[in-house]
């Protein structure tokens, strides 16, 4: 395969469509994975945060209350403590800041124990059942052994490779559960943060206590990072497999969608090479392709008909012009060969002018028929009375009918019939039908021009008692230059009925012919309803 043919493949529409399909699919897949991975990562992070927050709260409670927190009951939010007890607590220790609260139930009585700080001192407060207030000053330093024990218990529960705990005093050394994280002291205040140390990420929760001490708990994010990395590798493998299959599927879909266009293109090339009979077969690929195929076939049929008509017209014109040209040449040769007087020359020139006029009329009629059939000339549509046009045509041909001793009868309905059409062409069509009927009706015969409505459609009918048309000739009478045997001795060029058919078809009307040799003919032009 040559370089040019290889590049031609990449320029094909089916390749570009498949490539765009693949790119859009890959982009949407990557975007979807990114969103899902962010959601999963945030969900994992929320789980780690919840664990750290609850753990730090437990450690802070141990530091404040000591080992046996169960004797105080259940820890509750400060908002659930009755306002009266909070007010009594603040009244007993002005400037106190409540830290934690517990609730215990003994029988039908409920007790609340509050812990608060003032001036870096820790106090316990509780209202007894008799209304007396119990309070005492606490020394949280005594609870440090319990805090260390709590560190060890939680470390065994969570695993030393996943979590660490650290306690820092503002004026003393810190102690921690293990050496999972070497650094420290870089987290200020209370809250959650993510720190990186030696390429390893930690989620850290710090809580500042009333005396300036800080409890810190950190959880390694290595498991989460490894899990996300495994998800990413799995996605990349899946994406590669799906893209491989998607590339083939996309190309097949693109090939299916463009095969109709390819068939139209091949047919167009063969038509350009001269084979006007080429058509594209419908395979029902899609509505759009089917409409394209139908439109192309209709255009091809119209082009073939026009080219065939052009050839026929050319042949007919050449055939019909041969006779007058031969006469002109004969007159010229005879005049040139003999001694012709000036009167003879003038007579010859007059005859040549008449022959030229006949040829010009013939050419103009042929061009008008062709332009009407091919819709080159747009119809100058206007609304007019068809009844009035028929009556005018009858009056115009009345004298001609009298000269030929033919009775001409005109019949129109009482209700006026109006249509929207090209008035000049309808006049031309009616005149041709009447002229044709009068021409082939012998003296003493009858011609009837009738306008009527049939099922709501206007019908223009011309009936005569002329020589009639044989069944073999009935299909040929609308061809250009065709003349029946009975008309060869009469003047004319055989274009009248061709003009009638062209004008009728341009107005979407149809022509019906009834004829019997020796009895006459009837031509009916049936217009569409609501014309």
User: Which two structure tokens, joined as six digits, stand for 23?
Assistant: 């790119």
Boundary residue ending a domain (82, 110, 138) = 138
Q: Specify whether 383 is located in the same domain as 456.
A: yes
Residues 351 and 441 reside in one and the same domain: no
122 Cβ contact list (under 8 Å, min separation 6):
64, 99, 115, 116, 137, 138, 139, 140, 210, 211
Q: Is residue 340 part of a domain?
A: yes
Give SS3 for 460. Answer: strand
Helices 342-373 and 287-337: angle between axes, nearest 10 degrees: 170
> Collapsing DSSP states into helix, strand and coil, what is residue 74?
strand
Does residue 188 fall inside a structural domain? Answer: no
Decide if 238 is inside a domain: no
User: Is position 442 within any domain?
Assistant: yes
Tell me, yes or no, whether 383 and 519 share the same domain. yes
Q: Is residue 248 a part of any domain in this protein? A: no
* pLDDT of the chain, 531 residues: tens digit per residue: 444 445 555 566 667 777 787 788 888 888 888 898 899 889 988 988 898 898 888 888 888 888 777 778 888 888 898 888 888 888 888 989 999 899 988 878 888 889 999 988 899 888 877 778 888 888 888 888 888 888 888 888 887 778 888 888 887 667 777 767 766 655 556 788 888 887 888 889 999 888 888 988 888 888 888 888 898 899 888 888 888 887 777 777 777 776 777 777 777 777 777 777 777 766 666 676 777 777 877 777 777 777 776 776 677 666 667 777 777 777 777 777 766 677 777 777 877 777 787 778 777 777 777 777 766 667 889 999 999 999 999 999 999 999 999 999 999 998 999 999 999 999 999 999 999 899 889 999 999 999 999 888 999 999 999 888 888 787 788 777 766 655 545 555 677 888 899 899 988 999 999 988 888 999 999 999 876
- Dump the DSSP string for 31-72: HHHHHHHHHHHHHHHHHHHHHHHHHHHHHHHHHHH-S-GGGG
Residues 6+ apart with CB under 8 A from 459: 450, 451, 452, 453, 524, 525, 526, 527
**CATH number of the structural domain spanning residue 338:** 1.10.287
Task: Kindly report the CATH number assigned to the domain that includes residue 74.
Answer: 3.10.450
**Helical H segments across 284-341, by residue range:** 287-337
pLDDT at 521: 92
The CA–CA distances, whole Å, from 458 to 106, 209, 390, 455, 509 equal: 107, 104, 12, 9, 10
Alpha-carbon distance of 463 to 253, in angstroms, equals 62
How big is the chain, counted in residues? 531
Q: Number of structural domains, the chain?
A: 3
CB atoms near residue 461 (< 10 Å): 20
Q: How far is CA 523 from CA 342, 353, 375, 481, 500, in A?
A: 50, 36, 24, 19, 10
Same domain, 316 and 425: no
Q: Helix, strand or coil for residue 418?
A: strand
Residue 523 pLDDT: 94
DSSP 444: T
Output Rg (C-alpha) for the chain, integer angstroms.
54
Three-state SS at 29: helix
Residues 139 and 66: their CA atoms lie apart, in Å, by 10
Range of the domain at 486: 379-526
What confidence score (pLDDT) does residue 8 get? Answer: 56
pLDDT at 2: 47
In a domain, 257, yes or no: no
205: how many CB neighbours lie within 10 A of its CB? 24
Instruction: Tell which phi-psi region holds residue 470, choosing left (phi > 0), alpha (psi between -120 and 50) or beta.
Output: beta
Question: Do 324 and 409 belong together in one domain?
Answer: no
pLDDT of residue 192: 87
Taken in order 250, 256, 257, 261, is the CA torsion positive or negative? positive
User: What SS3 state is found at 283?
Assistant: coil
Backbone angles phi, psi at 495, to 5 degrees: -110, -5
Shared domain for 474 and 351, answered yes or no, is no
DSSP E strands, 412-456: 418-422, 446-454
> Could you tell me if residue 333 is inside a domain?
yes
Domain boundary among 123, 138, 153: 138
Residues 339 and 405 grouped into a single domain? no
Residue 394 lies in a domain: yes
Same domain, 331 and 389: no
Same domain, 412 and 514: yes
What does 11-22 look like in DSSP terms, one character per residue? TSHHHHHHHHHH
Q: Are residues 397 and 489 in the same domain?
A: yes
Using the structure block, give the residue that is written with the tokens 């409409």.
291
Q: Is 75 helix (H, G, I), strand (E, B) or coil?
A: strand
Ramachandran angles phi, psi of 479, nearest 5°: -75, 150
- Structural domain ending residue among the three candidates 333, 351, 372: 372
Asked if residue 355 and residue 395 are part of one domain, the reply reads: no
**Does residue 426 share a domain with residue 345?**
no
- CB of 41 closer than 8 Å to CB of 228: yes
Helical axes 144-158 vs 13-65, angle rounded to 10°: 150
The per-residue pLDDT for 497 is 86
Encode burial over 234-257: b for 16+ CB neighbours within 10 A, e otherwise.
Answer: ebeeebeeebeebbeebbeebeeb
CATH number, domain of 408, equals 3.30.565.10
Output helix, strand, coil percentages for the chain, rounded to the nearest 5.
Answer: 55, 20, 25
Three state DSSP letters for 89-114:
HHHHCCCCEEEEEEEEEECCEEEEEE
**511 pairs with which residues across the strands?**
525
């Amino acid at each position: 395969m040559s370089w040019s043919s290889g590049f031609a493949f990449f320029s094909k529409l089916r390749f570009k469509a498949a490539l765009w399909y693949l790119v859009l699919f890959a982009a949407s897949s990557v975007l979807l994975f990114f969103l899902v991975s962010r959601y999963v990562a945030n969900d994992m992070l929320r789980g780690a945060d919840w664990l750290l927050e609850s753990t730090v709260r437990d450690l802070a409670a141990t530091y404040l209350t000591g080992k046996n927190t169960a004797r105080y009951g259940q820890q509750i939010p400060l908002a659930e403590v009755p306002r009266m007890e909070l007010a009594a607590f603040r009244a007993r220790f002005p400037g106190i800041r409540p830290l934690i609260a517990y609730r215990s139930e003994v029988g039908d009585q409920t007790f609340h124990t509050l812990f608060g700080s003032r001036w870096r001192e820790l106090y316990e407060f509780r209202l007894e059942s008799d209304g007396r207030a119990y309070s005492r000053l606490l020394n949280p330093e005594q609870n440090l052994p319990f805090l260390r024990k709590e560190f060890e218990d939680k470390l065994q529960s969570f695993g030393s490779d996943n979590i660490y705990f650290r306690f820092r005093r503002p004026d003393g050394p810190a102690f921690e559960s293990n050496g999972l994280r070497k650094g420290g002291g870089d987290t200020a205040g209370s809250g959650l943060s993510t720190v990186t140390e030696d390429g390893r990420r930690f989620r850290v929760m710090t809580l500042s206590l009333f005396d300036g001490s800080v409890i810190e708990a950190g959880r390694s994010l290595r498991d989460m990072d490894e899990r996300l990395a495994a998800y990413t590798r799995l996605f990349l493998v899946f994406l590669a497999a799906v893209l491989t299959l998607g590339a083939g599927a996309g190309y097949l879909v693109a090939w299916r969608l463009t095969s109709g266009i390819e068939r139209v293109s091949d047919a167009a090339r063969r038509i350009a090479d001269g084979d006007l009979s080429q058509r594209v077969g419908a395979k029902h690929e899609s509505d759009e392709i089917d409409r394209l195929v139908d439109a192309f076939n209709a255009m091809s049929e119209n082009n073939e008909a026009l080219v065939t008509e052009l050839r026929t017209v050319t042949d007919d014109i050449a055939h019909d012009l041969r006779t007058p040209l031969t006469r002109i040449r004969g007159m010229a040769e005879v005049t040139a060969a003999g001694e012709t007087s000036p009167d003879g020359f003038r007579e010859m020139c007059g005859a040549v002018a008449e022959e030229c006029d006949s040829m010009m009329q013939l050419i103009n009629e042929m061009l008008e028929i062709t332009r009407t059939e091919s819709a080159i000339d747009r119809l100058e549509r206007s609304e007019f009375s068809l009844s009035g046009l028929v009556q005018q045509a009858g009056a115009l041909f009345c004298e001609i009918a009298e000269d030929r001793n033919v009775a001409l009868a005109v019949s129109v309905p009482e209700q006026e019939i109006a249509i929207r059409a090209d008035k000049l062409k309808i006049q031309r069509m009616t005149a041709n039908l009447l002229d044709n009927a009068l021409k082939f009706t012998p003296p003493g015969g009858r011609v009837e021009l009738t306008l009527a409505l049939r099922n709501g459609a206007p019908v223009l009918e011309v009936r005569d008692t002329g020589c009639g048309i044989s069944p073999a000739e009935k299909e040929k009478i609308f061809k250009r230059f065709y003349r029946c045997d009975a008309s060869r001795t009469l003047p004319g060029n055989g274009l009248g009925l061709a003009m009638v058919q062209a004008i009728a078809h341009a107005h979407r009307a149809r022509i019906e012919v009834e004829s019997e040799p020796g009895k006459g003919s009837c031509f009916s032009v049936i217009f569409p309803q609501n014309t």
